[in-house]
Amino acid sequence: MRSFQQTLADFNSRGIRVVGISVDPPEINRWQSQRLGYTFPLLSDPGAKIIRRYDVLHPRAGPKGADIARPAEFLLDSNGMVRWVNLTENIAVRARPHQMLDAFSQLGSGAQ
């Protein structure tokens, strides 16, 4: 997520809103955002309702067997339709900001 913070101006200039979602409670996400200097929203989904909706729940993969979200990046259009997705099972493998910006450019203005 640090790389997305570093390129946030590039996303903003294209009308793309960067948002993170985790199963962590709001106070943990607030602390993380402050500690790491994130200026984009880091939302909490402790019941994993949204995480399940997008089919990225990784059951019992977190500390002490807690459910967590699989690493994933999505581009949604203004209607909430998924236009591009990057899913991985490996926490170290994630889409880089330039990959998402390239995907957005290939989708055209409909992804805004």
- The model's pLDDT over 21-38, given as tens digits with 9 standing for 90+, comes to 988 999 999 999 999 999
How many domains, in total, are found in the chain?
1
Whole-model pTM: value is 0.80
Cα dist from 74 to 31, 36, 65, whole Å: 24, 22, 26
Range of the domain at 25: 2-107
Q: Are 4 and 12 contacting, i.e. CB atoms less than 8 angstroms apart?
A: no
Tell me whether residue 112 is in a domain: no
pLDDT digits (tens, 9 = 90+) for 43-91: 999 988 999 999 888 888 888 988 888 888 999 988 889 999 998 777 7
User: Beta 72-76 vs 57-58: how paired, if at all?
Assistant: unpaired
Q: Is residue 23 part of a domain?
A: yes
**Residue 112: per-residue pLDDT:** 45
User: Does 6 reside within a domain?
Assistant: yes
User: Looking at the domain assignment, is residue 95 inside a domain?
Assistant: yes
Q: Is residue 31 part of a domain?
A: yes
